[in-house]
Amino acid sequence: MASFLFRTIQSHSFLLCPTTLLRRNNGAFYCSMKSTHTQTATQEKQQPPPKIKSSPQGNQAKTRTLDRISKEYEAIIGIETHVQLSTLTKAFCTCPYNYGAQPNTSVCPICMGLPGALPVVNSKVVEFAVKLGLALNCKLSFNSKFDRKQYFYPDLPKGYQISQFDIPIATGGYLDVDLPVEYGGGHRRFGITRVHMEEDAGKLLHADDGEYSQEITFPIIYALQVDLNRAGVPLLEIVSEPDMRTGLEAAEYAAELQRLVRYLGVSNGNMQEGSLRCDVNVSIRPVGQSKFGTKVEIKNLNSFSSINRAIDFEIARQALLYSQGKADQIVQETRLWEEGSQKTVTMRKKEGLADYRYFPEPDLPEVILNKEYVDSIQSSLPELPEMKRRRYEEMGLSMQDVLFLANDINVARFFDATIEKGADVKLAANWIMGDIAAYMKNEKLTINEIKLSAAELAELIASIKGATISGKIGKEILFELMAKGGTVKGIIIEKDLVQIVDPSEIEKMVDKVLSENPKQLEQYRGGKTKLQGFFAGQVMKISKGKANPGLLNKILLEKLNAKS
Amino acid sequence: MLSTLHHPPRRLSRFFPANNKPRHFHTKPVLSSSQPVTDQSPSSTSPPESQILSIRHSLLSREVTATQLAETYLSRLKLAEPQLKSFIHVSNNVLKEAQSIDDKIKRNENVGPLAGVLVGVKDNICTVDMPSTAGSRVLENYRPPFDATAVKKVKEFDGIVVGKTNLDEFGMGSTTESSSFQVTANPWDISRVPGGSSGGSAAAVSARQCVVSLGSDTGGSVRQPASFCGVVGLKPTYGRVSRYGLIAYASSLDVIGCFGSSVADTGILLSAISGHDRLDATSSKQEVPDFTSQLISAALLESKPLKGLKVGVIRETLENGVDSGVKSTVLGAVSHLEELGCTLSEVSLPSFSLGLPAYYILASSESSSNLSRYDGVRYGNQAAAEDLNALYGDSRAKGFGSEVKMRILMGTYALSAGYYDAYYKRAQQVRTLIQKSFKTALDENDILISPAAPSAAYKIGEKKNDPLAMYSGDIMTVNVNLAGLPALVLPCGFVEGGPIGLPVGLQMIGAAFDEGKLLKVGHIFEQTLQGCRFVPPLIADGIPQ
């Protein structure tokens, strides 16, 4: 349908020069319907949030320098996060958004900014904004509005972005974070300045290879094309207070925000797909100084570990300049994190403050919330990560366990459901964090994709505790359940796995083994007591693993030592 | 604040110099018998009848076919077009669509209330099967993939879109001279402007090139050309008609309006296009009454049909700067209303004169933003350029005309950091004041009246190089847009000028969503106005040379 709206004109080369972003020989800038082979047609499944990797070991000297100067300087870090909302349709039109769809296949007159088209607010966007605002402990604006942020860029079809300027929907909240135990742990509360609603822009892609381009910043030797699938997709921008002091804190703040949006179901929070994008501002100052240093913005942070490493690099870079008396070389600029070289590099220097000529969006009515609406959303909020962690802590779990279980909402739900079925808390946690987590990792499955249900895990734990089966058999059953499903009882019956707890039956088996291995028995009685393990293994073998290990050992020992 | 409002209503005797009795107007033979016009009433001075109703009657009684009617209009359109240039594009499907109406009638199927009615559509309103240029080079040959909601509704009611009418580029202008494509002439005197920005739509209805037409009104763009061309023009309440598909000039002020040769036709067209639209968040959910049900036939009118109706005459609109001929014509209309039984009083709107600067700041600001999308990247004309800035700059420099560029510059300035408070914000405060003063005045009065424009149609080129003179011509109309109110302009007399005189329009302003009252009052006014037949010489005398 849209094809006649687009023209394809030949591609061109661009070069960078300081005053112009793009240069080309002749011809036109254009949109096209060209597909990108790097994209897949289906939505990637949500992966559990990765643990933040520690800084690369790097060279020792650098680490030592960082350690030394980090004592002399304090870093001030603030984060702007864009969260793409997982609404069925875009913010102001009825187009669906599917990551990775063919370029310009999910567009309409409204999100393409055709003449005469008008935006209409998707009420889910407001609902999600209120949800996140409440979850971040913010004050809501019952009377907010949309504004136009104006600038020219080829991925911005209307020449302005519908956003919120002076009256954001939520302000003045905070986010609680538990730092990982392996980094010393600790609880932090980071301030939230504001949350506001806005629309996403499209994407630029290189004409010849279909690769998406981040920004037109470095010498570009391709013509660019515009994909407007993402244009008009709803975003929430969350601005933090400058409360973070280390790369780790910043990364943990971002990870907590991801956890929160996933718990709330407002976004898939996927950083690789760009559903969660963080830009960080870093400045440093000598410890004890109250005046802030010059702030540098870092972009292109595609993972929590890159946030961590980029900030630590930037702190070290700035501290080094400071310590060398070159503080004036720290200028207000935007720097790009380069994953390959593990460095931040200058992307663009700020030429004064950009004037976006904000004014109230006349095509949209004000956003009016009422108390009933807010109350109904408040009461429908799920248990949030912080609440969950505190509850798990009270259940007696270690902080390590708490952080693991609450990290992924699906794992937490699975754990909660297992407990609800009466399973022992510590045992359930151990099973989930041990064999189940290992299996998921090996098979690259999420907890929702394995065939094991929480009810069956509870049953399994109960069966072991009640001595119906041994722990060893339990493990076997677990893998069967995870791979093929079924019930614990069914598998026990089907495979005849009920534990043998009748002492006389075990005694018979022990007798049989002892009589069949007279040589070993003699050796044992001659002092080679470690052969006990051999006898136990033999008995277990003929019992097909079903003999109760405690009973077996007890009876075996009695018999072995009886005549000596 | 409005001290005059507390005075007891008084007769407007001070408006009438003792020696100047309210004028009744000279008449003119309307049609030569050779004219291929089938829809004219027998008496040359009888009030206008609804063409839509008479078409419906002729079609349903099988007196005439939709095809015959369409052919008549099309041939007149083509005859007049070389001189008028009202249309940027004429549809190729008119006869085909007329034929399908005839087929329906032949099969005794129901046909919509606009069946067989040829509707002109201003070219800033999107139509799926025709170009929609907004009168701008930047959108030359642009064809939208969708119909504007108003157009969709016209089609649903079996109306036939005859073509796209000329306008000032993006609706910015008061003469239609700033169209990128052509200059439209006034059917009353082809050396004069038809007004603007909906000059093409007004001229087309005036010259009977179509039955009714759609225009848009941001600061008077329906009402002023209606006045200049001697037709009825209606600017509905903001939100009454969906703006979806109206190429935006200033979103908070833009409304789609109607032109007709009678009040009744204007009302029927308004009924067709009104109503909430889920595609326009600013369209109102207010119920849409049948605007024509209250229109009483002239024969059934009592002697004082408007007895008790309180009419406020806006003092500031009859002060300095208003052409004396226009003033006396409007005062004639005032006394006509009085004869109809209205109670007249003078009303002062102290913030009235602030409307013009506030309007030009707000409209320019919004337009500077609304026109950002014409960057040549996705549609429209794109300049060949060496880099991105040049691409934007050249595409826009070549695509936009000078009036549009001026307003983009003014608007960009007004919204810039450091100037926002002094201009945009202050203009918004003025807007609130204006809304309040209208509210007060309309609490006291049923309708307010004023001239539609300070003068009748002026010569082509006369104000082209004097934008301030042109802008000041909008003084009568911009306040109504700032307040979002409905207003009806209808012919009330003539002033000297042109071959047989130039029409003057009376503006009636109502409370929000009170279009029904305006149409009722306007209809009675029109049906009882003696000795005026608003058919321009272009039609009356055949096509003049």
pLDDT tens digits, residue range B105-148?
999 999 999 999 999 999 999 999 899 999 999 999 999 999 99
**Which domain-ending residue is among A469, A495, A521?**
A495
Give the tens place of pLDDT for each residue, A417-431. 999 999 999 999 999
Q: Is the pLDDT of residue B44 over 70?
A: no
> In this complex, which of B145, B368, B387 lies closest to A1 when CB atoms are compared?
B145
Residue B133 lies in a domain: yes
Pairing of strands A187-199, A234-240: antiparallel
Segment of A32-41, A131-140, A203-212 carrying the highest mean pLDDT: A131-140
Residues 6+ apart with CB under 8 A from A258: A49, A269, A271, A276
With a pLDDT cut of 70, the percent of chain B lying above it is 90
CB contact under 8 A, B387 and A114: no
Q: Among partner residues B145, B372, B388, which is closest to A22 by beta-carbon distance?
A: B388
Token look-up 């690099």 returns A313
* Residue B517 designated active-site: no
Interchain pair A120, B279: CB under 8 A: yes
**Which residues does B370 contact at the CB level (< 8 Å), separation at least 6?**
B248, B249, B250, B251
Structure tokens given for B239: 């939100």
Which pairing describes strands A30-31 and A224-227: parallel, antiparallel, or unpaired? parallel
With a threshold of 0.95, does the pTM exceed it? no
**Domain limits at A482?**
383-495
| B425 close contact with A: CB closer than 8 A | no
How many CB atoms are closer than 10 A to CB B8?
5
Q: What is the DSSP string of A252-308?
A: HHHHHHHHHHHHHTS----TTTTSEEEEEEEEEEETT--S----EEEEEE-SHHHHH
Interval B185-207: pLDDT, tens: 999 999 999 999 999 999 999 99
Residue corresponding to tokens 């003057």 = B504
First to last CA, chain B: 55
> Residue B362: which region, alpha, beta or left (left: phi > 0; alpha: psi -120 to 50)?
alpha
Q: Cβ of B244 under 8 Å from any chain A Cβ?
A: yes
The vertex-A445 CA angle with A477 and A262, nearest 5°, equals: 120
pLDDT > 50? residue A528: yes
A-chain residues within 8 Å CB-CB of B278? 120
Distance CA B541, CA B275 (A): 40
The confidence band for A17, taking pLDDT boundaries of 50, 70 and 90, is very low
Q: Residue A213 — very low, low, confident or very high, per pLDDT cuts 50/70/90? A: low
Same domain, A247 and A159: yes
Distance, in Å, from the CA atom of A77 to the CA atom of A314, rounded to the nearest integer, reads: 11
DSSP string, B24-86: ---------TTS------SSTTSPPPPHHHHHHHHHHTTSS-HHHHHHHHHHHHHHHHHHH--
Q: How far is B151 from chain A (nearest CA, A)?
A: 12
Is A26 in contact with B388 (Cβ distance < 8 A)?
A: no
In a domain? residue B34: no
For chain A, give me the number of helices (H) and strands (E)? 17, 18
Size of interface A-B (CB pairs under 8 A): 143
Beta bridge partners of B161: B119
Q: Chain A within 8 Å of B107 (Cβ-Cβ)? A: no
DSSP state of A434: I
B221 is a catalytic site residue: yes
CA distance A551 to A290: 70
pLDDT of residue B409 exceeding 90: yes
Strand partners, B505: B491
Say whether B274 sits in a helix, a strand or coil: strand
In whole angstroms, give the CA distance from residue A407 to residue A259. 7
* pLDDT in the model for residue B20: 35
- Residue of B50, B86, B180, B197 with catalytic role: B197
* B87 is a domain residue: yes
Among A13, A16, A359, A366, the residue to mutate for chain B (most B Cβ within 10 A): A359
Q: Which residue of A has its CA nearest to B247?
A: A116
What pLDDT is recorded for position A29? 43
H helices, E strands: number in chain B: 16, 11
Give a yes or no: residue A304 inside a domain. Answer: yes
Query: Closest residue of A to B281, CA-based?
Result: A120
* Mean pLDDT computed over B450-454: 96
B62 within domain boundaries: yes
> Residue B295 and residue B465: Cα distance in Å, rounded?
44
- Residue B498 sits in which domain range? 51-310+452-541
For residue A57, is pLDDT > 60?
Answer: no
**Contact assessment for residue B139 and residue B374, using Cβ atoms and an 8 Å cutoff:** yes
CA-closest candidate to residue B138, choices B386, B392, B375: B375
Q: Are residues A306 and A362 in the same domain?
A: yes
Residues in chain B with CB shorter than 8 Å from the CB of A117 are 146, 244-245
Please indicate, yes or no, if residue A1 is contained in any of the structural domains: no
State mean pLDDT over B386-414. 94
One domain, residues A531 and A440 = no
Banded model confidence at residue A526, pLDDT cuts 50, 70, 90? confident
Residue A354: the pLDDT is: 80
Residue A18 confidence (pLDDT): 31
- Answer whether residue A58 shows pLDDT above 50: no
pLDDT (mean) for A262-287: 95
Classify A164 as helix, strand or coil.
Answer: coil
Only one residue has tokens 């594009």, namely B89
Q: How many domains does chain B have?
A: 1
Give pLDDT, residue B428: 97
pLDDT score, position A47: 54
Does residue B265 fall inside a structural domain? yes
Cβ contact (<8 Å) for A116 and B279? no
From the candidates B28, B122, B152, B520, which is the catalytic residue? B122
Domain holding B470: CATH number?
A: 3.90.1300.10
Place of tokens 């972005």: A161
SS (H, E, C) B276-315: CCCCCCCCCCCCCCCCCCCCCCHHHCCCCCCCCCEEEEEH
Residue B236 domain flag: yes
> Same domain for A96 and A140?
yes
pLDDT given at position B430:
98
The answer to whether the CB atoms of A116 and B247 lie below 8 A apart is: yes
- Mean of pLDDT values over A467-482: 87
Residue B476: is its pLDDT beyond 80?
Answer: yes
Residues A355, A472 within the same domain: no
The rounded distance, in Å, linking the Cα atoms of B533 and A353 is 62
Mean pLDDT for A223-231 is 88
Q: Which of B221, B227, B348, B351 does the annotation list as catalytic?
A: B221
Which residue, B304, B308, B330, is CA-closest to B317? B330
If asked whether residues A356 and A429 sit together in one domain, one would say no
Residues 278-317 of B with CB under 8 A from A: 278-282
Closest of B125, B146, B150 to residue A1, by C-alpha? B146
Task: At B421, list the tokens.
Answer: 């408070």
For residue B7, the model assigns a pLDDT of 37
pLDDT at residue number A352 = 62
Clarify whether residues A158 and A274 are in a common domain. yes
Mean pLDDT across A303-312: 96
Q: Does one domain contain both A224 and A254?
A: yes
Scanning the structure block, which residue is given the tokens 């996060």? A81
Cα end-to-end span (Å), chain A: 93
Provide the pLDDT confidence category of residue A25 given band limits of 50, 70 and 90: very low
Element (H, E) at A494: helix A488-494
Domain assignment present for residue A185? The answer is yes
Alpha-carbon span A235 to A161, nearest angstrom: 11
Could you give the ipTM of this predicted complex? 0.90
pLDDT, position A223? 67
Which residues touch B184 (CB under 8 Å, ≥6 apart)?
A: B84, B85, B86, B166, B176, B193, B194, B199, B200, B203
Final residue belonging to a domain, choices A478, A495, A512? A495
Last residue of a domain, one of A333, A368, A403: A368
Q: CB–CB of A320/A328 below 8 Å?
A: no
Measure in Å the smallest separation between the Cα of A25 and chain B Cα atoms. 6
Residue of chain A minimizing CA distance to B425: A359
**Under 8 Å between Cβ of A150 and A159:** yes
| Cβ density class A469-505: b for 16+ within 10 Å, e for less | bbeebbbebbebbbeeebbbeebbeeeebebbeeeee
Mutate to test the interface with B, among A6, A95, A114, A204 (most CBs of B within 10 A): A114
Band the pLDDT of A71: cuts 50, 70, 90. confident
pLDDT digits 0-9 by tens, B507-521: 999 999 999 999 999
Check whether B100 has a pLDDT greater than 50: yes
Compare A496 and A481 and report the one with higher pLDDT.
A481
The SS3 assignment for B403 reads helix
Q: Is residue A323 part of a domain?
A: yes
Mutation target to probe the B interface, by most B beta carbons within 10 A, among A1, A149, A152, A204 is A152
Return d(Cα A348, Cα A327) in angstroms, integer.
19
User: Per-residue pLDDT for B336 more than 80?
Assistant: yes
Closest CA to A508 of A532, A533, A543: A543
Q: Would A411 be classed as within a structural domain? A: yes
Residue B319 has a pLDDT of 87
B122 has catalytic annotation: yes
Query: A86 and A163: one domain?
Result: yes
Single out the residue of A193, A277, A275, A192 nearest to residue A234, CA to CA: A275
Measure the CA–CA gap between B508 and B363, rounded to whole angstroms: 23
C-alpha span between A282 and A76 (Å, rounded) = 6
> Which one has a higher pLDDT value, B465 or B235?
B235
> How close does chain A come to B280, measured CA to CA in Å?
6
Residue A11 lies in a domain: no
Angstrom distance (rounded) from CA A235 to CA B93: 44
Taking a C-beta distance cutoff of 8 angstroms, is the pair B190, B538 a contact?
yes
- Interchain CB distance below 8 Å, A109 and B243: no
Whether residue A452 sits in one domain with residue A339: no
* pLDDT higher at B28 or A153: A153
Whether A18 is covered by a domain: the verdict is no
Number of domains present in the structure of chain A: 3
Residue A203 belongs to a domain = yes
Q: What value does the mean pLDDT of chain A take?
A: 86
Whether residue A551 is found in the same domain as residue A448: no
Residues A168 and B485: their CA atoms lie apart, in Å, by 31
Q: What mean pLDDT, rounded, does chain B reach?
A: 90
* Pair (A175, A275) in one structural domain: yes
3-state helix/strand/coil string of A513-536: HHHHCHHHHHHHHCCCHHHHHHHH
- Residue in B164, B157, B225 with CA at minimum distance from that of residue B453: B225
